[in-house]
Structure 1
Amino acid sequence: DFYYSGTPSFQKHFGKFADKYGFQGAFAGMMYSFKTREEFWGYLATFLHTTQHAPLRKPYRDLDTILNGKDFHILTTNQDTQFMRLYPEDKVSEIQGDHRFFQCSKSCCDEIYDALQPVDAMYQAMGDGTSIPTELIPHCPHCGAELFPWVRGYGNFLQGKKYEEQYQKISKYILENEQKKILFIELGVGRMTPMFIQEPFWNLTLSLPDAYYISVNAEYNFLPEQIEDKGIAILGNIASVLEDVRLEINK
């Protein structure tokens, strides 16, 4: 809950930055114009370290219980690595990147690099300060440009081999199951990026013979007229809905 406002968890993880620079909410810090690259990387390392080490949240655990014993594949635009703590790589398609990896900021090559060890080193070296040592700023081993997270939104997102693998996994799964009963569950897709999950799910529900669609969203309950007999839109909090489903299953 620390992304958009100065919540207690924001103060816990980012309080020293809020006190020094005056912003509230982790995303506001990502947009802040830091005076030096050392300060920028101090904040980014804190953001990445917090994300990489965050405990597995209850909605993910409830969803895992619901999926237990079922054949499934996860398609996600979340970059927070939570699904990767639950499932092997072949069960998850991360189509917007992953905060566990770096890429070259100039996309000079089709490679991604481990971000866990460098982020831990930056975070430890920063201590109580807000800057990292210059020598810890990560650079591309090929062209020397700075690295940044392999996540859409930081800049020139690398849509190379790793990216294509994510689409290959979900495409293979759908092709193998297109003639079976298949349920598309859409959880919390906003109106900023409907083209990655929401609209493909609508089209697949319409075109596949035995498909059904369920969406859960706290703000929107869109259900196209063409699939109104093959779907349901639940207007509600995802955490509450998943908990209710888990409790019903456990009965």
Structure 2
Amino acid sequence: MNENPICTVADLIRQADAVLVGAGSGLSSAAGYNHYHNDQNFQTHFGDFEDAYGIRNLFQGFYYLYSKPEQQWGFYARYIDFMEKAPAGQPYLDLRDALAEKDYFILTTNCDVQLPKVFPEERLFQFQGDFRYFQCSQPCHDKLYDNHEMISSMLDAMEKLEVPSEHSPRCPLCGWKMVPWVQDNTFLQGSEWQAGYQRYETFVQKYHERKLLLLELGVGDMTPSVIKLPFWDMTSKFPDTFLVTVNQAKSGAPEHLHGKSLTVCDDLSHFMQALRREQNETNGKNNDSEV
């Protein structure tokens, strides 16, 4: 195996029949959208919420216990609008280019709309939901609602970081409050979620006995049962599957995966950029040799 991890991963992608990506919050952080830390983006776009409520990051703001729903909807509306309008981060574009010649699928715990901006939805399973949709909070029925117009209306009506109660979205069937389609104790795992899960399962079944590369990008330990543990299990059980884990924080795979896994400790922004460059250079050499 090549001593340069960038060259090694590029070779593994080229040799694979397919690539299954596990995308975590570290990929969005590398793109400049850090949901768990107080950074310049947060200060610029949400500093007024920090001043008002002591919120220190986007994740805290989303799950903060506000004293009334008008305040909660103020943050929801600003957060969702910010992520929907934010340009797709470069690491996502680099990932798209890295996978251009391969059959691939992406399993993600991210809800921040970055992946659907770059990849077709039929190649995604957004395990924990998607900011672009609302659901009934009970939920009384199996339907997701595109929230673009509702968010625009709330932002237009917002006063002093609060959305007036008459602009808070209500379920059209039962009249109960709606909530973002994001993992919590009311999260709707209905037909849309099940369809995504089936796409994921179908892809795994198609390639479980072929040369499958698992590419884990920026996955932390907050929800290990979604990506990390299943990827370890597949690497162990599938005969020709190899796991690559890329994370800025030090991490590793279990000892029994020795010889079937590679851990790269690197900034994902740098890693994806270097991987795309390596692949472009190699493809250029291969094209020259065919002339």
Equivalent residue number for residue 27 of structure 1 = 59
Q: Counterparts of 1:130 and 1:16 in 2: how far apart (Å)?
A: 8
So what's the TM-score if we normalise by structure 2? 0.80
Q: Residue 216 of structure 1 corresponds to which residue in structure 2?
A: 246
Q: Which runs of 5+ in 2 are unaligned?
A: 1-32, 282-291
* Alignment counterpart, residue 113 of structure 1, candidates 145, 160, 176: 145
* Root-mean-square deviation over aligned CA pairs: 1.7
- Verify: 1:96 aligned to 2:128, yes or no: yes
- Answer yes or no: is 1:82 the counterpart of 2:114: yes
Residues 1-251 of structure 1: pairs in structure 2 closer than 5 A: 1=33, 3-126=35-158, 129-153=160-184, 155-251=185-281
Equivalent residue pairs, number: 249
Identity %, equivalent residues: 37
Residues 92 and 191 of structure 1: CA distance in aligned 2, closer, same or farther (over 3 Å): same
Distance 1:236 1:221 in 2: 11
8 Å CA contact retained: 2:96, 2:119: no
Q: Relative contact order (C-alpha < 8 Å, sep 6+): which is higher?
A: 2
AA at the equivalent of 2:182: V
CA drift of 1:193 comes to 0.9
Deviation at 1:226, TM superposition (A): 1.9
Q: Which amino acid aligns with 2:125?
A: S
Deviation at 1:64, TM superposition (A): 1.0
In 2: Cα distance, 1:28 partner to 1:177 partner: 39
Tell me the alpha carbon deviations over residues 230-250 of structure 1, each in whole angstroms, 9 at most, x when there is no partner: 111112222221112112112
Question: Residues 214 and 134 of structure 1: is their aligned pair in 2 closer, same or farther, counting only changes over 3 Å?
Answer: same
Structure 1 counterpart of 2:176, which letter? A
The structural deviation recorded for 1:81 is 1.2
| Local SS of the residue matching 2:239 | coil
CA distance in 1, matches of 2:213, 2:36: 32
Q: By how many angstroms is 1:137 displaced?
A: 0.3
Shift of 1:130: 0.9
Which shows bigger deviation, 110-119 or 32-41? Answer: 32-41
Deviation at 1:21, TM superposition (A): 2.8
| TM-score for the superposition, normalised by structure 1 | 0.92
Q: Distance in 2 between matches of 1:31 and 1:77?
A: 16
Alpha-carbon distance in 2 for matches of 1:36, 1:97: 24
